Amino acid sequence: MIKVSELRKEYKVHERSPGLLAAAKSVFHREYKSVLAVGGVSFEIAAGERVGFLGPNGAGKTTTLKMLAGLLHPTRGEARVDGHEPRRREDAFLKKIMLILGQKQQLFWDLPPSETFEYNRAIYDVPRKQYDETMSELTTLLDLGELVKKPTRQLSLGERMKCELAAALVHRPKVLFLDEPTIGLDVSMQAIIRAFIKQYNERWGATLLLTSHYMDDVAALCPRVIVIDKGKLTYDGKLDALSARIRPAKRVVFRFSRAVDRADVEPIGKIVSFDLAQAVLDVPRDALNEAVERALRTLPVTDLTVENPPLEEIMSELFARGEAVP
């Protein structure tokens, strides 16, 4: 569905020193420097996949999405989306994709969202019957109700985001490029948006490429992740495999019925945090059974959980390394 080969994007940026004299000189002669945004990334995404596209700020994520959507032209390299070259912006291509930017909106500010829905129906030439069926499904899945009749300016951020998604999906795109779709939303609304995106993927078989700084979005939606840093690809593979390579230990949380001594907990694993009623430990995977058995035998454990270390910690360590993970 998506194939990217040695995709590269450079910008020429005007540079000048501060001051009036430098400003005057720049009128007649300008000096430029080349800034690398994306430095030759290659990957493939199959139809129907949900893939997280991760990296620190300035890594080149949004630039890549814009090249895949045809908004930017690559300096070098090639991109194909369902057989189309995005930079050509053909009508057949535009009807298959949608780029959703969490910090941008397409809704008309003083009009109700229903007006934007109708506007998009006309732009994409969606048959009335298909439009009615799609809007009925989207209204149910997103619980839009009477929201679509209120002026957009009267909606909360979460309500606007739900309507933004509905507007973006009027034409049932086969490929979704999602750039921070839950930014600024509260926890409950993030969960609603995540659930809807997953349902849309499963209902229509759409391909998703998602960027987000909320790791809960990635963990809930994306079995596979592609990581770039400073414009270079550093990892492409299963999320669970990345966790195992970067942090091979398991994170175990023990809760106690009474206060315990730190010295009694230390032999079980590496202590991440500790108080009298709870201990959080990192335990090597191959020693997990033994560690849990010892804790249950020697400590007043009332509850325990075993999970991978938080994805935020894994990504922070990967970014700090600044090198590719095999």
Q: Answer whether residue 102 is part of any domain.
A: yes
215 within a domain of the structure (yes/no): yes
| 314 falls within a domain | no
- For residue 16, is pLDDT > 80? no
Choosing from 225, 243, 261, the residue where a domain stops is: 243
Buried b (16+ CB within 10 A) or exposed e, 281-314: bebeeeeeeebbeebeeebebeeeeeebbebebb
Among 243, 270, 295, residue at a domain's last position = 243
The per-residue pLDDT of the chain, averaged, comes to: 89
Token code pair at residue 113: 């969202």
User: Measured in whole angstroms, how far is the alpha carbon of residue 34 from the centre of its chain?
Assistant: 28
For residue 297, the model assigns a pLDDT of 92
Assess whether 72 and 138 both reside in one domain: yes
Q: Tell me the two tokens of residue 237.
A: 């593979």
Beta bridge partners of 2: 45, 81
pLDDT tens-digit readout, 221-232:
999 999 998 888
CA distance 74 to 87: 8
Instruction: Mark whether 128 and 257 lie in a shared domain.
Output: no
Whether pLDDT at 22 is above 70: no
- Which of 44-48, 238-242, 290-294 is least confident? 238-242
93 and 70 in contact (C-beta within 8 Å)? yes
Confidence band (pLDDT; 50, 70, 90) for 48? very high
Alpha carbons 174 and 233: distance in angstroms, whole number: 25
Question: Which CATH number goes with the domain that contains 13?
Answer: 3.40.50.300
Residue 43 to residue 318: CA distance in whole angstroms: 19
Do residue 10 and residue 116 come from a single domain? Answer: yes
- The predicted-structure confidence for 121-133, as pLDDT tens digits, reads as follows 999 999 999 999 9
Q: Kindly state the helix (H) or strand (E) to which residue 267 belongs, with its residue range.
A: none
Helix (H, G, I), strand (E, B) or coil at 33: strand
Residue at 319 is within a domain: no
User: What range defines the domain where residue 271 resides?
Assistant: 248-307
Residue 322 pLDDT class (50, 70, 90 cuts):
confident
Domain boundary at 243, 262, 287, which?
243
Contact present, 177 and 97 (Cβ < 8 Å): yes
Together in a domain, 139 and 236: yes
Work out whether strand 97-101 and strand 175-179 pair parallel, antiparallel, or are unpaired: parallel
Contact 239, 220 (CB under 8 A): no
Assigned domain for 136 exists: yes
Which residues, 6 or more positions from 122, have their beta carbon under 8 angstroms from its beta carbon? none
pLDDT at 49 over 90: yes
| The predicted structure's pLDDT at residue 28 | 73
Q: Same domain, yes or no, for 259 and 172?
A: no
- Structure confidence by residue, pLDDT tens digits, 74-118: 999 999 999 999 999 999 999 999 998 877 788 898 999 999 999
Residue 302 · residue 255 · CB < 8 Å: yes
